[in-house]
Structure 1
Amino acid sequence: MHPVALAGAAAGRLAHYAISGVVGGLIIRGAAKRLPEAKPAARKALVGGIANGIVAGRWLASATEEARLKAGDMVAEARTTLGEEVPPPSAVSVEDHDHGHEH
């Protein structure tokens, strides 16, 4: 699968969870206003929904990192096929990075 497609799928999933969480929170808030005795249950459901959102966010970050690493492997393989030298992943060139301290 193309890295852009993976990133798009991940972004879509994140948007789905965010929208679901907001809509769910609004529904629970409206129900809690109508039924004061439902507040503890509504709060518990809302906290559970937020916890699920955190778990989903962590899973999404992990999946995104895995996709990034796989894409990097494919680019390295393609460069090797072309006979180019593949730079190590930690090779980063930073030019003119003035951010307030001396090196």
Structure 2
Amino acid sequence: MIAALLGKAGSTLVTGLVGAAAYDGAKRAVGAGVVREGAVAATAWGLRGKRRVETGAEQLRLTSGDIVAEARERVGEQAPPPGAHEAHDHQH
């Protein structure tokens, strides 16, 4: 019975030591800025990707505007000036 009790106590002690070592390792990693550095790097990649998407969307908008203008020219329509579709009912 005492051997079983000592066995369980030893097992609990080893588990506690492993847990404490893992906690200390995680604490050092956070303290050293490893986690923060990873978050900053991931955010930077996200911002770069966002800029590329925005650039592509703007290029697509400009290209489609050129295509519509050329199509209107071919059918004999005059393209409305930019902003002509916006309501502007008040006086200045």
Which TM-score band applies after superposition, normalised by the shorter structure?
A: 0.5 to 0.7
Considering Cα pairs closer than 8 Å and 6+ residues apart, tell me whether 1 or 2 has the greater RCO: 1
Identity %: 38
Larger Rg: 2
Alignment match, 2:27: 36
Letter in 2 for 1:60: V
Alignment match, 1:22: none
Alignment match, 1:82: 75
* Large movers: runs of 4+ above 4 Å: none
Give CA deviations for 1:19-39 in whole Å, capped at 9, x if unaligned.
xxxxxxxxxxxxxxx812222
Letter in 1 for 2:40: V
Match runs of 1:55-94 below 5 Å:
55-94=48-87
Between Structure 1 and Structure 2, how many residues are aligned? 66
Q: Which runs of 5+ in 1 are unaligned?
A: 1-33
CA RMSD of aligned residues (A): 2.3
Q: Which runs of 5+ in 2 are unaligned?
A: 1-24
Structure 1-normalised TM-score? 0.53
Structure 2-normalised TM-score? 0.59
CA distance in 2 between partners of 1:61 and 1:69 (Å): 12
